[in-house]
Structures are given as C-alpha cells and as structure tokens.
Amino acid sequence: MSTLNVNVVTPDGTVFEGDVEMVSVRAESGELGVLPGHIPLVAPLSVCAARLKHESKVQLVSVSGGFIEVRPDKVTILAEAAETPTKIDVERAREAKKRAEDRLNSAKQEEVDFKRAELALKRANTRLEVAGK
C-alpha cells in the first residue's frame, strides 16, 4: 500500500517522523483526511489528536494548533506544541483540566478570560485522549 512521509514538528524539534497510510486532523475548517497523492494544501489546525494510520494501527499525536502542509507524498504538521502518548504527563494534564474547568465555573465570571480557559480545557482533554486516560 502507498504511504506518505509525515513529520510533526514543534519549535522544540521533531515529535514524530515516519511513513503512514493516512493522516487525519481537525483543521479550522473541519476534519481533514489525507491519503497518498492528495492535492497540495496548507491549512490552519485546531487543537486536536492527529491520527496517523499505518498497517491497521492508529498512532495518536496531541497537536495544539499550528498548520498542516500537504504534498502528494509528504505531510508536515507545524505545531505550537505536540506530544506522543508516552511523552504526556497525565497528572499535569488532569491538573490543567481541573484548573480550566474551575475557571469556567468561577463565581467571578467577569474576571475570567473564557476563550483562554476553553482553549486550555480543549488542550488538556486532547492530551488525556491521546494518553488514553
């Protein structure tokens, strides 16, 4: 079966590099599935779990925004932050989720930056999903 070379890169370096059969991500415009031979494309990404399928196995990578660049034989994900399941600190993600939920449920709602709290909650939930927790 045909494959794509995939690189997931952050400012700190490469998080994932390898050949896969399919890449699925959540772009700001909706879900995006990429197979070998896909037309060239650049799209902004939402906070999501990038799904990298190879030989009937799916590897998840937590992606905190950024961009995806697609070429017929290569996909590059330029992310603000990205983590594979083994690199995620589950306890830290749970604490971040609780802080974000507390902010969103705060009695002093006029002092809360809801957009920022919602984004923090989305990042924490995505990290926990990728970690399998």
pTM of the model: 0.85
Per-domain residue ranges of the chain: 4-83, 88-131
Q: Give me the helices (H) in 2-132, please.
A: 90-104, 114-131
Q: State the fold for domain 88-131.
A: 1.20.5
Residue 75 CB neighbour total at 10 angstroms: 24
How high is the pLDDT of residue 43? 96
Q: b/e for 50-65, b at 16 or more Cβ within 10 A?
A: bbbebeeeebbbbbbb
Topology classification of domain 4-83: ATP Synthase; domain 1 (2.60.15)
Within 22-113, where are the H helices?
Answer: 90-104
* Residue-wise pLDDT tens digits, 49-63: 999 999 889 999 999
What pLDDT, on the 0 to 100 scale, is given for residue 105? 83
Stretches in the chain below the pLDDT threshold 70: 107-112, 133
Q: What per-residue confidence (pLDDT) applies to 112?
A: 64
